[in-house]
């Protein structure tokens, strides 16, 4: 299996760090290889936990700033400048701060995190990300009593990002989470993949990844994290509120108005491979279902 091959090329420091992270979450060392993805093989799929190839992860992308076709981000983002880069943390907090990418990499050690990405379009990949919990970063600031949500903002630079010259979305790309969702240990700041620095098309130098939500919640090339009182309006909610809600938890029981969400196609298996069943919360229910106790997830889609 590809995963075993990959573990051989993972730098030891990454693994050591991963182990300590898993300990903190209460996992034993024996669960190391797959602890972050649910071990589910629903019979007709070959192996839904197999890592997607580096090539597929880096050439089949959604990143509308660089075009709306899957191959566009790879083609059009190679010369995108990611240095210098600063992230501003602001809004309803005691002291707003700006952090350079260098400060972030020095302060927070990235570790390997294998998580499944499920796009709202009905395909999925399993990706060996490098990253750290967003809560590590957010716990450095003190939200005011008004703060209820966090809003993420991607970079706005139409000279470098030609897609921003077209009103396909309201630029800059924005997303949002409730504070408890943002503070959940699975919510990840991504800095790399396959043991390497993050490619531009995947959101360099820094993007968010929320394993139990549809891919579009995971904003790329982040420049701002803002604590706010009211539920933020994401770019996709602006574009089509009927189709894209604030929560966007992966949910096989709630269809997109134009298609079913019950199954998904695993990228890399070829177009004839059978689709596999989509799992509630993308398979991370044990970890995150308690965030939504008592909520009607059909209404709060």
Ligand X SMILES: Nc1nc2c(c(=O)[nH]1)N[C@H]1C(S)=C(S)[C@@H](COP(=O)(O)O)O[C@H]1N2
63 is a site residue for ligand X (CB under 6 A): yes
Q: Which does 220 bind (CB under 5 to 8 A by kind): ligand X, Mo ion, none?
A: ligand X
Residue 88: both structure tokens together: 């501003």
Q: How far is the CB of 263 from Mo ion (least distance, A)?
A: 16
Residue 12: both structure tokens together: 């030891």
119 is a site residue for ligand X (CB under 6 A): yes
283 is a site residue for ligand X (CB under 6 A): no
The residue within the footprint of ligand X, chosen from 36, 49, 77, 154 (CB under 6 A), is 154
Q: Are strands 149-154 and 263-266 parallel, antiparallel or unpaired?
A: unpaired
**Closest to ligand X by CB, 80 or 149:** 80
Burial class (CB in 10 A: 0-12, 13-18, 19+), 242: exposed
Name 193's bridge partners.
129, 196
Closest residue to bound ligand X by CB: 215
**Closest to ligand X by CB, 55 or 146:** 55
CA–CA dist 257, 242 (Å, integer): 8
The residues of the shown chain that bind Mo ion, judged by CB under 5 A, are: 62, 119, 215-216
- List the Cα angle 181/213/215 in 5-degree steps: 125
Name 90's bridge partners.
226
Q: How far is the CB of 127 from ligand X (least distance, A)?
A: 7
- Is 198 in contact with 206 (CB distance < 8 Å)? yes
The residue within the footprint of ligand X, chosen from 36, 37, 52, 65 (CB under 6 A), is 65
Q: How far is the CB of 27 from ligand X (least distance, A)?
A: 25
**Closest to Mo ion by CB, 119 or 183:** 119
**Closest to ligand X by CB, 93 or 126:** 126
Residue 242: both structure tokens together: 């009927």
Within 186-245, which residues bind ligand X (CB under 6 A)?
202-203, 215-216, 218-221
Residue 128 backbone phi and psi in degrees, to 5: -85, 90
Identify the H or E element spanning 173: none
Q: How far is the CB of 117 from ligand X (least distance, A)?
A: 5
**Closest to ligand X by CB, 93 or 117:** 117
CA–CA dist 199, 137 (Å, integer): 22
Interface size with ligand X, residues (CB under 6 A)? 17
Separation of first and last alpha carbons in the chain: 35
**Closest to ligand X by CB, 148 or 265:** 265
Q: How far is the CB of 219 from ligand X (least distance, A)?
A: 5
Q: Which does 154 bind (CB under 5 to 8 A by kind): ligand X, Mo ion, none?
A: ligand X
**Closest to ligand X by CB, 73 or 92:** 73
CA–CA dist 149, 221 (Å, integer): 20
Residues near 269 by Cβ (< 8 Å), separated by ≥ 6?
45, 46
Q: Give contact residues for ligand X (rule: CB under 6 A).
A: 61-65, 117, 119, 154, 173, 202-203, 215-216, 218-221
């Amino acid at each position: 299996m590809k995963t075993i091959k990959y573990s051989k090329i993972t730098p030891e420091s990454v693994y050591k760090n991963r182990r300590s992270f898993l300990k903190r979450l209460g996992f034993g060392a024996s669960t190391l290889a797959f602890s972050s993805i649910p071990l589910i093989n629903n019979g007709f799929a070959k192996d839904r936990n197999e890592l997607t190839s580096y090539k597929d992860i880096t050439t089949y992308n959604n990143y509308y700033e660089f075009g709306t076709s899957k191959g566009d981000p790879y083609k059009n983002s190679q010369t995108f400048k990611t240095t210098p880069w600063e992230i501003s943390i602001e809004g309803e907090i005691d002291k707003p701060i700006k952090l350079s990418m260098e400060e972030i990499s020095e302060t927070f050690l990235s570790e390997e995190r294998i998580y499944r990405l499920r796009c709202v379009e009905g395909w999925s990949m399993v990706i060996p990300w490098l990253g750290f919990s967003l809560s590590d970063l957010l716990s450095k600031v003190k939200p005011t009593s008004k703060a209820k949500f966090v809003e993420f903002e991607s970079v706005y630079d139409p000279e470098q990002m030609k897609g921003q010259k077209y009103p396909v979305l309201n630029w800059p790309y924005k997303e949002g989470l409730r504070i408890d969702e943002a503070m959940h240990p699975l919510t990840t700041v991504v800095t790399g993949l396959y043991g390497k620095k993050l490619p531009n098309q995947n959101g360099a130098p820094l993007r968010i990844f929320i394993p139990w939500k549809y891919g579009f919640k995971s904003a790329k090339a982040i420049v701002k994290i803002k604590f706010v009182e009211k539920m933020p309006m994401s770019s996709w909610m602006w574009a089509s509120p009927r189709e894209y809600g604030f929560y966007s938890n992966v949910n096989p029981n709630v269809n997109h108005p134009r298609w079913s969400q019950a199954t998904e196609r695993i990228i890399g298996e070829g177009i004839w491979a059978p689709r596999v069943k989509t799992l509630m919360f993308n398979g991370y229910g044990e970890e995150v279902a308690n965030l939504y106790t008592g909520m009607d997830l059909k209404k709060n889609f």
